[in-house]
Amino acid sequence: MATFVLVPGAWKGSWSFEAVVPLLERAGHTVHALTLTGLGPDDDNAAVATANLDTHAGDVLRHLDRNHITSATLVGHSYAGMVIAAAADRADGRISRLVHLDAYVPRDGESCWSSTNEHFREVFAAGAAATGYAVRPPDGGDPRRRPHPLASFLQTIRLTGALAQVPRREFIYCSGWEDRTPFAELRTRLQADPGWQVHDVPTGHDAMHEAPETVAALLLDERLADASTRR
């Protein structure tokens, strides 16, 4: 049985995977859904102000340590693609599979800011205008969302090359928001890379809410009619 560690994207906590977790557990797997530093309901302003990408990668690594996890499937949504890449690079072989769920797949020296598109750079800048360190959630959406640490969007990632040793690396591309997605060029890049498997799903960005069964099926290596695979 697999051990899944699910890492939420910007502004979100463990609740963002609430529809997927029971589907994986029902199949007999162990599932850990995380909330990153600064995103918890009890986190104070200091936690938000001081958290960065290294902090969030450390959250994942400490969770592996505390739970004695030695073969994890790391799943990161959106911004958390940065987090799982940084964590996997430092995990000393404890990651057996990476799944970037409509998420950034950074190269050394890149950041979420440099990897995204102009639309989201405007969202980040406008959202941080009030405090200078916390990016408020965009209007609408789940009311549980919280201000996100700006520093985590800006910090560049440092990768040693160990990430390439993870046995399985997958990218799930959500094709239902083509007008705003920052991931179209990334999808093309990874399709040409034999080290990656690319899946397309016809949903908006929050596939785990819109189509949790499809997301769970991909994580469980099942093939659904509405989930197509590209190599």
pLDDT digits (tens, 9 = 90+) for 65-107: 999 999 999 999 999 999 999 999 999 999 999 999 999 999 9
pLDDT per position as a tens digit, 48-74: 999 999 999 999 999 999 999 999 999
**Structural contact between residues 214 and 227, judged by C-beta atoms closer than 8 angstroms:** yes
pLDDT confidence band for 192 (50 / 70 / 90): very high
- CA–CA gap between residue 154 and residue 156 (Å, rounded): 6
Domain ranges of the chain: 3-230
- Between 3.40.50.150, 3.30.2040.10, 3.40.50.1820, 3.40.50.300, what CATH number should domain 3-230 receive? 3.40.50.1820
Computed over its alpha carbons, how large is the radius of gyration of the chain? 16
The pTM of the whole model exceeds 0.85: yes
Average pLDDT, the chain: 95
pLDDT the model gives residue 77: 98
Dist CA 73 CA 33 (whole Å): 12
